[in-house]
Amino acid sequence: METKTDEPAAEDARTEEAATAEAVTEDGTTRAAATEDASGADADADTDADAKSDAEAAGPSGVGQGAGAVVSVALGIVSLTGNWVGSVAAARETLVGQLRTSSTASVSQQIKEVYGDAWHTTALWAGLFALVALVTGAVVLVRPAFGAPGRPQAPWIKSVAWAGVALGVIGLLLAVLKYSDVLLGLPPAS
């Protein structure tokens, strides 16, 4: 079976397009001129969009500051709830205390060596995490002073950074109190 091609219909469509391209619009301009004006408006819109994207690319976006603020809060929470490094270091101190303490040592000496040093090690690591949280949050807060002037920091970044600083201060205070045996000190051996 032979298929017919619609070549005459395709030629008619092309000639019709050519005729309508030169048709006059209502305001007296040709359709081709109207098309050029529309494409010129699209080009202007593209230029404006390119200028905006260039301006956004040139200025800082605040992503680093936002990430720093979130990291500060995360480190503050870790300092309050405990961390893997502190747990491992405390377990190591417990083992070292057991190895160093002889069975003839006094009870107070055994408590100090086996449990006290491990408790202090946990407090030390919590204090280090709290200090890093505090410093990170403070750096995020003072960063706009050394960054692009006139570009304000997003309010959420300030809020999260302040939360990180607060958690860091609380964690550092608790770590100092635990390390100095003011908070939850070792029980007396009597």
Q: What tens digit of pLDDT does each residue of 129-146 get? A: 999 999 999 998 888 767
Give the chain's end-to-end CA distance (angstroms, integer).
111
Average pLDDT, the chain: 75
Calculate Rg over the CA atoms of the chain. 36
Average pLDDT over residues 49-75: 71
Burial of 60 (0-12, 13-18, 19+ CB in 10 A): middle
Quote the CA–CA distance of 67 and 78 in Å, as a whole number: 16
User: What is the structure's pLDDT at 45?
Assistant: 53
User: What is the structure's pLDDT at 28?
Assistant: 55
User: What is the structure's pLDDT at 162?
Assistant: 93
Dump pLDDT digits (tens) for 77-129: 998 898 888 888 888 888 888 787 777 777 777 777 777 788 888 889 999 99
Dump pLDDT digits (tens) for 151-164: 777 888 889 999 99
Higher pLDDT, 158 or 23: 158
Domain range annotation of the chain: 65-179
Quote the tokens at residue 67: 């990430």
User: What is the structure's pLDDT at 114?
Assistant: 77
